[in-house]
């Protein structure tokens, strides 16, 4: 352990590893998540670099889980490289189900209304990262303004407002505004306005006939003022990590527990695959943290 720059040894009969995933390590992101992941912003601490995962692997711990997967969301395009405690999670932009996305080419690229926000937000960061320039715009009209989450009201947003769609699309920097305008008009024309809008259920108010349809909550963008918010990909945590058993003991590559070594939280692999339901990160940490603590205490005192 390092204290005031000096490395000291602390002896213990049990250790619980809980030092987060490798999301703050751009080299590991590119290595395991794939090309362009080094360009993502990190939503949280700059310290979760995978060092403790590496140390555990070096003593024979088994890696497991979805090493190329992660939790990543729509995040303010000009946010700092790592999380800012003064802003917290307010750089996130989670109201996309009420509007449309366009990318730098001016094209829609994802079904904004595929499901409730809680089931899509953690995988749409990856979709944004794979767009040209690794960014996108969320566009809304005045009809849904009151429904936008609080995070849209902060000062640190990259935002444009206009009284017409022509004017708004012309303001979108690094973006083909003419195509964006055509795209939004085609989207408007494709909305099933005969189906009532209901944000509380998957309302089936959809578009039809587009290359990428919107499945629910498809409102036309027709009421000024119009707003556009620039977002990029913000990574929350990585899915791959150490293998544990039900007592939170770290498993070795030989398939047996490593004596005295326990783990919990983000650095455990095999909990999340491909997607993530909202709220389950803290649940994971609390459940396995409690088990790891109890198991370690038993080992240390037994």
Ligand X SMILES: Cc1cc2nc3c(=O)[nH]c(=O)nc-3n(C[C@H](O)[C@H](O)[C@H](O)COP(=O)(O)OP(=O)(O)OC[C@H]3O[C@@H](n4cnc5c(N)ncnc54)[C@H](O)[C@@H]3O)c2cc1C
What does the binding site for ligand X look like in residue numbers (CB under 6 A)?
A: 18-20, 43-45, 47-48, 51-52, 83, 89, 236-237, 265-266, 279-282, 285
Residue 11 Cβ vs ligand X, minimum distance, rounded to whole Å: 17
The smaller minimum CB distance to ligand X, of residues 83 and 113, is found at 83
Residue 112 Cβ vs ligand X, minimum distance, rounded to whole Å: 21
CB-CB neighbours of 283 under 10 Å? 11
The smaller minimum CB distance to ligand X, of residues 65 and 285, is found at 285
Residue 121 Cβ vs ligand X, minimum distance, rounded to whole Å: 10
The smaller minimum CB distance to ligand X, of residues 168 and 242, is found at 242
Residue 149 Cβ vs ligand X, minimum distance, rounded to whole Å: 13
The smaller minimum CB distance to ligand X, of residues 44 and 69, is found at 44
Query: Which positions ≥6 away from 85 have C-beta within 8 Å?
Result: none
The smaller minimum CB distance to ligand X, of residues 226 and 262, is found at 262
Please give the residue whose beta carbon sits closest to ligand X in the complex: 265
Alpha-carbon distance 240 to 63, whole Å? Answer: 7
The smaller minimum CB distance to ligand X, of residues 33 and 102, is found at 33
Residue 54 Cβ vs ligand X, minimum distance, rounded to whole Å: 9
Residue 48 Cβ vs ligand X, minimum distance, rounded to whole Å: 5
């Amino acid at each position: 352990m390092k204290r005031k720059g000096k490395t000291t040894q602390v002896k213990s009969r049990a250790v619980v590893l809980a030092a987060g995933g490798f999301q703050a390590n751009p080299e590991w992101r590119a290595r395991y998540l794939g090309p362009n992941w080094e360009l993502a912003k990190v939503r949280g601490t700059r310290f979760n670099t995978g060092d403790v995962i590496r140390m555990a692997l070096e003593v024979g711990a088994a890696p497991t889980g979805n090493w190329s997967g992660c939790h990543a969301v729509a995040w303010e395009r000009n946010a700092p490289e790592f999380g800012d405690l003064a802003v917290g999670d307010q750089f996130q932009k989670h109201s996309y189900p009420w509007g449309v996305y366009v990318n730098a080419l001016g094209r829609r690229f994802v079904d904004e209304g595929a499901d409730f926000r809680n089931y899509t937000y953690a995988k749409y960061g990856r979709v944004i990262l794979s767009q040209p320039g690794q960014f996108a715009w969320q566009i809304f009209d005045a009809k849904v303004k009151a429904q936008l989450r609080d995070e849209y009201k902060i000062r640190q947003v990259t935002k444009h407002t206009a009284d017409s769609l022509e004017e708004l699309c012309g303001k979108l920097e690094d973006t083909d505004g003419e195509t964006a305008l055509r795209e939004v008009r085609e989207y408007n024309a494709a909305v099933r306005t005969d189906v009532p809008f209901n944000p509380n259920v998957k309302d089936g108010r959809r578009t039809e006939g587009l290359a990428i349809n919107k499945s629910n909550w498809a409102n036309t963008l027709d009421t000024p003022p119009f707003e556009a918010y620039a977002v990029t990909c913000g990574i929350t945590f990585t899915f791959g990590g150490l293998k544990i058993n039900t007592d939170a003991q770290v498993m070795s590559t030989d398939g047996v527990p490593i004596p005295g070594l326990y783990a919990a939280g983000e650095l455990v692999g095999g909990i999340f695959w491909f997607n993530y339901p909202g709220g389950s990160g803290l649940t994971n940490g609390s459940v396995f943290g409690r088990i790891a603590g109890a198991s370690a205490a038993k080992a240390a005192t037994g």
